[in-house]
Each structure stands twice: as C-alpha cells, then as structure tokens.
Amino acid sequence: MTESTLTKVVLSEDQIPTHWYNIVADLPTPPPPHLHPGTREPLAAEDMTALFPMGLIAQEASTERWIEIPEEVRAIYRLWRPSPMYRARRFEKALGTTAKIYVKYEGASPVGSHKTNSAVPQAYYNMLEGKTRLVTETGAGQWGAALSFASEMFGLSCDVFQVRNTYEGKPYRRMQMEVFGGKVTPSPSNRTHAGRELRLKFPHTTGSLGMAISEAIEEAVKDPNASYALGSVLNHVALHQTVIGQEAILQLEAFGERPADYLFACAGGGSNLAGLSFPILRENLEGRASTKIVACEPKAAPSLTEGEYKYDFGDSSNMTPLLKMYTLGADFVPDPVHAGGLRYHGMAPLVSHCYSEGLMDAISVKQLDAFAAGVMYARAEGIIPASESCHALAGAVEQARKATEDGSSPVILVGVSGNGQLDLPAYHEFIQGKMADS
C-alpha cells in the first residue's frame, strides 16, 4: 500500500458498521461470568430484568460474534458517524519523532465523546420494551449528557445522578444535560436511601461513581416504567463501542497504512478502550496484525496496573452483580483529578480478562504528563482533547520518543475519546502551573 498524503479520512455514511463486534466469540478462553451477589452463582437473565431490558441482557451474555445494529440506531449514528481519523503530522513534527501517529477521534459526537455510541442503543432497546424513563449516574458528565441526548432521541425521560464533585466543579456539563432534556441531581443526594446512608457515613464526601450507581439503581428499581443504564464496564456497553475500532481498521487501510504497531486508549471503566481495541484484537487473534494494545489509566485510579483481579461490586452499596475485574475496591474514592471519566474503581470485566490473559498491556499516566501531551496536541492539531484522552496521548508521546531514539517508524494509533471544550478550567490550571501531579 502507498502511504496517503491525506490529513484525515472521513468514511461515508454507508460505511458505518452494520453490526457490533462481540470479542467473546473469539477469545481463547471464556471470560468469567458475572455472579449473583447472594448465591455467587452465575447470573441468570431473570436476575437482571429489574435493571435492564431483555435486548441488552441478551447482549450482555451473548457469545455471537456479530450482533446487528438496528436501523433506528444507525439512523441516529448518522448524525455524527463515521467519526474521523487524522494523521497527526503537525503533532509528529512538534515531537520531532520518526513515528507515525494516527488519531481516531470521537469528540465530534453530540456530547463531545464516544459515550453516545452506547447511549443510543441503550435508549432504543428500552423504548422498544415500553420503558419511558432511564436512570443513570455520571462522573465527568459525559455519560449523563450522552444518555440525556439518547433518551430525547427516543422520547424517554432521563434522570441523572452526577458525582457531586463534578456537579459543582463542572457546571457546563450539567447545563449540557439540561439542553438535551436531562434532569440532574448531585450525588450522594437525599433522594434515595443509599444516598442518605452514604451522606451519614461520609458527610464531607465529594461523591464517587460507585455511590452514584447505588442511587441510580435504587431509583430505577422502584419505578416499573424505568430502567437503569450504565455507561461503561458491562459487556453490552463494550459491544456498542466496537463501531469505533471497526471504522478505525477501514480508515487505516484508506491511509494506505499497515496494521498499527501500537494502540493507545484511555481506560476508566474500559468502554472507550474496548471499543477501539476489540476489533483490532480480533485482527491480532486471527494473525492479520500484531498490534500492541496499551490501556492508559491515570495514576490516581490505577485499577489495571495496581488493582487486584477478583470478584467485586460495581457500586459502593453492594447492589450490583459481582463482576470479575481488576479493582481498587468498591469503596475506593480517588483524588478529585480532572479526568473525571477515569475515576472508576474497577475495570470492565472483558478488558480485565483480556489483560489477565496477556492480550493487552497497561500503563498509568500522571496528570501533568497527560495535560502536557494534551496542550501540545491542541497547539499542533487544533483539537483540544478531553482530559481523559490526554492520557492516551501521553502514552503515545512516550512511545514516539522511544521510536525516535531507536530510529524506528512505528505506526501508533491513538484513541482520542472526546474533546476538551468543557475541560478548559483544567487546562487553565495546568497552564497557570497550579495543577497537582496526582
């Protein structure tokens, strides 16, 4: 293939994937099942019906390789998909690197991140089964905004518990949810039993995703017209995000590039990493590529690199099924670092399984290194990356520097999961030299 001189590759609408890719079908060993928290037996479909519609429960347990994307979902995807891929030539030049850097960019979605890829099908399947209301939690606010948008697309109402730290510190994201019709409550709140208990136990807490999940579940379960919705971690969420990686493979081809040598993606709950990497992991497993996949997590919430691989709860009040994952403990409350989307205590079971099987690597990135990479990227390429995405860019920067030292020209694929327009106060802090290096 001849290397292209294009700056970006934007696919046509008919190249939006027709199916989601389920990595479970191709894994060398089956991933450990979710367990019922009472019996510790593998979870049955009926154990989840209070929380999720059957369409999503079936996907959670599916071993089918390809699951068709409903046309109603693809119609909404077309509002912003396919997402662009850039050859970041000016960033390469700024780094003085011999490496070639390609960026798959999810920041042009309605809410500015990859989260809408799963929010839209989640709202769709709920609408299909007669639900009229969704309840969820959100950390940085990206997932809450995505679900507010998706609910609006299918005529559902949307109730969001937002981690208090970001509710207060990042009001723009709350306002974005309101524009899309979402109703937002800071968590922990007095609206739920779980919230009231948590406020008694931790009166000064800035909140955590685990706490907000407990509140959202409680609120959803008590309304028969409502479902709960989760923005990461679970298998069906990872599944929906695989539109990213499938497009990325076509785009690298259109750039006339061989499979990537490296893939860097930020990992909080794991859905962004899974979405970009699983279709490429399939290429690895089938011998068409040997891409080194690197999860980039923040030093402040290092579940893969410093957590324990065990069954744990997804929330703080032990209301979820038990999930086998790398975890820092369900009551872990990280420092209020700026990459709010990366503050979760655990890592998606499918990502955890791949990591434990040696199919992926992981690094942890310090906050200042992440923002230094983000500012450099913004000034070179004109895109201000989300604070989460800065971690992936920092991973790529380090790899590019190694390449320059040994004179190699590897192809580095970076997932930039969102734009940082609503993270500008964090950039301001970094540029003013006032950011802590957690």
Binding site for a copy of itself (CB under 8 A): 6-8, 10, 12-13, 75-76, 78-80, 86, 108-110, 112, 116, 149, 152-153, 171-172, 175-176, 178-181, 375, 378-379, 381-384, 421-422, 424-425, 427-428, 431
DSSP letters of 345-387? SB--HHHHHHHHTTS-EEEEE-HHHHHHHHHHHHHHHS--B-H
Residue 15 CB, nearest approach to a copy of itself (Å): 12
Rounded CA-CA distance 315/63 in Å is 26
Return the number of the residue (78 or 201) whose C-beta is nearest a copy of itself: 78
Return the number of the residue (215 or 381) whose C-beta is nearest a copy of itself: 381
Return the number of the residue (80 or 202) whose C-beta is nearest a copy of itself: 80
Angle (deg, nearest 10), helices 193-201 and 209-221 = 150
Residue 432 CB, nearest approach to a copy of itself (Å): 8
Rounded CA-CA distance 369/348 in Å is 25
Residue 110 CB, nearest approach to a copy of itself (Å): 3
Return the number of the residue (355 or 371) whose C-beta is nearest a copy of itself: 371
Residue 117 CB, nearest approach to a copy of itself (Å): 13
Residue 74 CB, nearest approach to a copy of itself (Å): 10
Return the number of the residue (363 or 386) whose C-beta is nearest a copy of itself: 386
Return the number of the residue (14 or 46) whose C-beta is nearest a copy of itself: 14
Alpha helices, DSSP H, located in 184-270:
193-201, 209-221, 235-254
Residue 141 CB, nearest approach to a copy of itself (Å): 11
Return the number of the residue (44 or 175) whose C-beta is nearest a copy of itself: 175
8: burial class by Cβ within 10 Å (0-12, 13-18, 19+)?
middle
Residue 273's CB is within 10 A of a number of other CB atoms, namely 36
Positive or negative CA dihedral for 141, 109, 248, 32?
A: positive
Return the number of the residue (347 or 373) whose C-beta is nearest a copy of itself: 373
Q: Which residue is it, tokens 């990461």?
A: 232
Residue 114 CB, nearest approach to a copy of itself (Å): 14
Q: Which residue is it, tokens 């209020």?
A: 336
Residue 111 CB, nearest approach to a copy of itself (Å): 8
Return the number of the residue (1 or 179) whose C-beta is nearest a copy of itself: 179
Contact 427, 397 (CB under 8 A): no
Tell me the HSE value of 4 on the side-chain side, using a 13 A CA sphere: 17
Question: What is the spatial order of strands in the sheet that 361-365 belongs to?
Answer: 8-9, 85-87, 100-105, 411-416, 262-266, 292-298, 361-365
Contact 4, 255 (CB under 8 A): yes
Return the number of the residue (226 or 383) whose C-beta is nearest a copy of itself: 383
Residue 43 CB, nearest approach to a copy of itself (Å): 34
Integer Rg of the chain from CA: 20
Residue 3's CB is within 10 A of a number of other CB atoms, namely 12
Rounded CA-CA distance 72/79 in Å is 12
Closest CA to 88 of 414, 419, 420: 414
Residue 308 CB, nearest approach to a copy of itself (Å): 38
Closest CA to 141 of 267, 210, 231, 46: 231
